[in-house]
């Protein structure tokens, strides 16, 4: 149950800062996913309804993935280049980051850090230590949009829940719960979803375009990665790799990597799925999904300080090439499964 009454003083302080602000920055880490983009666009509406004269700008390190461009007001999502080119000032009175910490905000970080008031709104339990002015972190929320919805309905905001606002909240719910499959799917999430559906938005479009759709070349790339996947540890591990040359062959963007590992981990008999992405010749990102008893978040943290996530879905960034990374990780994972 998400109870935002405990954020009474944080909300009060945040609202009073925004009441005095002329320019507000909204951001989230890296490339937007369904929860972070839903939360950012919903927050922008909350702020503009309450403070119509303020300028509330969404700026992300990476351009908005094509799949989210159908969302209401998606054209208001900027990159550092596009907002500077528009002649906007890079000074902000209040800067808000949602769905993850400022450590992963890339080129937006300097603008965020310069703001007089910094606000952190998240549902993840762990985050780096940054001296945010205000923290609203609720790990019992399934998603940042669930938390955002509850904030939006306080006396401080009283945001109108029309079909545009509802679909932004809904997108985060379906994204972070994997269409109401993951363990964060609470009865409250289902009840909130039901109340959002009553506003009459096209939930088929939100689910299909916002989560499942992919380009033809991305489909071909996925089929190549799945085709090359291998089993290990008597079929308890399934793994595959995505080297730079494959990314180039399919002209893939970050978003094309979404969803592939989900197909791998739903293979019968699997306990852990592992997918290696080569970021550059000396850097590899590894993603984990667990069906069984292996806590992949703590496993990811054991590999590097740049590792973590949830028990059943986690990732790590390794300073190794893709071959070193895969043998290093698979050997350790095999040992854990052997002793389990």
Alpha carbon 226 to its chain's center: 24
Sign of CA dihedral 289, 292, 297, 298: negative
Looking at beta carbons only, is 99 or 258 nearer to Mn ion? 99
Piece of the chain touching Mn ion by CB under 5 A; list 7-15, 77-85, 168-176, 254-262: 168-176
Looking at beta carbons only, is 21 or 32 nearer to Mn ion? 32
For the sheet with 307-309, list strands across it.
230-232, 237-242, 272-280, 283-290, 313-318, 307-309
Task: Compute the least distance from the CB of residue 162 to Mn ion, in Å.
Answer: 23
HEC-encoded secondary structure of 197-247 = HCCCCCHHHHHHHHHHCCCHHHHHHHHHHHHCCEEECCCCEEEEEECHHHH
**If you compute the radius of gyration of the chain from its CA atoms, what whole number of angstroms results?**
20
Number of residues that bind Mn ion (CB under 5 A): 5
Query: Using CB under 5 A, which of 138, 176, 271, 278 touches Mn ion?
Result: 176
Piece of the chain touching Mn ion by CB under 5 A; list 170-178, 210-218, 226-234, 268-276: 170-178
Exposed / middle / buried, residue 283 (Cβ in 10 Å: 0-12, 13-18, 19+)? middle
99 lies in the site for Mn ion, by CB under 5 A: yes
Looking at beta carbons only, is 44 or 123 nearer to Mn ion? 123
Task: Compute the least distance from the CB of residue 337 to Mn ion, in Å.
Answer: 28
Phi and psi at residue 331, to the nearest 5°: -60, -45
Long-range contacts of 326-331 (CB under 8 A, 24+ apart): 326/239, 326/241, 326/276, 326/284, 328/303, 329/274, 329/276, 329/286, 329/303, 330/232, 330/237, 330/239, 330/274
Measured distance CA(289)–CA(264) in Å, rounded:
9
256 lies in the site for Mn ion, by CB under 5 A: no
Task: Compute the least distance from the CB of residue 167 to Mn ion, in Å.
Answer: 17
The closest of 169, 118, 112, 180 to 144, measured between CA atoms, is: 169
Task: Compute the least distance from the CB of residue 16 to Mn ion, in Å.
Answer: 27
Phi and psi at residue 137, to the nearest 5°: -120, 125
Task: Compute the least distance from the CB of residue 123 to Mn ion, in Å.
Answer: 6
Residues 132 and 12 sit within 8 Å (Cβ to Cβ): no
Looking at beta carbons only, is 172 or 307 nearer to Mn ion? 172
Piece of the chain touching Mn ion by CB under 5 A; list 169-177, 186-194, 269-277, 309-317: 169-177
HEC-encoded secondary structure of 296-310 = HHHHHHHHCCCEEEC
Looking at beta carbons only, is 144 or 159 nearer to Mn ion? 144
Q: Write the binding mask 11 to 40 for Mn ion: x where contact by CB under 5 A, - elsewhere.
A: ------------------------x-----
Q: Write the binding mask 125 to 164 for Mn ion: x where contact by CB under 5 A, - elsewhere.
A: ------------------xx--------------------
Task: Compute the least distance from the CB of residue 224 to Mn ion, in Å.
Answer: 29
Task: Compute the least distance from the CB of residue 299 to Mn ion, in Å.
Answer: 20
Six-digit token string for 102: 């400022």
Name the closest residue to Mn ion (Cβ): 35
Task: Compute the least distance from the CB of residue 143 to Mn ion, in Å.
Answer: 5
Looking at beta carbons only, is 142 or 290 nearer to Mn ion? 142
User: Which spans of this chain sit near Mn ion (rule: CB under 5 A)?
Assistant: 35, 99, 143-144, 176
């Amino acid at each position: 149950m998400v109870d935002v009454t405990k954020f009474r003083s944080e909300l009060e302080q945040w609202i009073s800062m925004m009441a005095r602000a002329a320019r507000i920055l909204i951001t989230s880490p890296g490339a937007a996913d369904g929860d972070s983009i839903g939360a950012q666009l919903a927050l922008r509406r909350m702020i503009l309804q309450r403070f119509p004269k303020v300028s509330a700008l969404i700026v992300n390190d990476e351009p908005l993935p094509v799949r989210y461009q159908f969302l209401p007001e998606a054209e208001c999502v900027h990159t550092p280049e596009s907002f500077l080119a528009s002649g906007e000032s890079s000074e902000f009175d209040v800067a808000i980051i949602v769905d993850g910490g400022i450590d992963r905000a890339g080129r937006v970080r300097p603008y965020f850090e310069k703001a007089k008031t910094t606000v952190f709104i998240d549902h993840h339990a762990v985050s780096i230590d940054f001296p945010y002015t205000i923290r609203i972190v609720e790990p019992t929320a399934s998603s940042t949009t669930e938390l955002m919805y509850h904030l939006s309905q306080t006396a401080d905001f009283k945001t109108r829940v029309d079909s545009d606002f509802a679909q932004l909240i809904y997108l985060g719910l379906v994204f972070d719960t994997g269409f109401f499959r993951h363990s964060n799917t609470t009865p409250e999430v289902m009840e909130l979803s039901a109340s959002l559906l009553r506003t009459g938005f096209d939930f088929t479009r939100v689910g299909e375009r916002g989560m499942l759709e992919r380009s033809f070349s991305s489909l071909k790339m996925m089929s190549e990665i799945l085709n090359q996947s291998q089993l290990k540890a008597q079929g308890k591990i399934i793994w595959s790799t995505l080297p730079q040359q494959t990314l180039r062959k399919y002209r893939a963007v970050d978003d094309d990597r979404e969803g592939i590992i989900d197909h791998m981990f739903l293979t019968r008999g699997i306990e852990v799925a592992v997918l290696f992405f080569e970021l550059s010749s000396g850097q590899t990102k590894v993603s984990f999904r667990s069906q069984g008893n292996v806590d992949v978040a703590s496993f990811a943290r054991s590999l590097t300080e740049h590792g973590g996530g949830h028990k059943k879905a986690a990732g790590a960034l390794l300073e190794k090439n893709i071959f070193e990374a895969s043998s290093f990780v698979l050997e350790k994972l095999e040992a854990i499964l052997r002793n389990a």
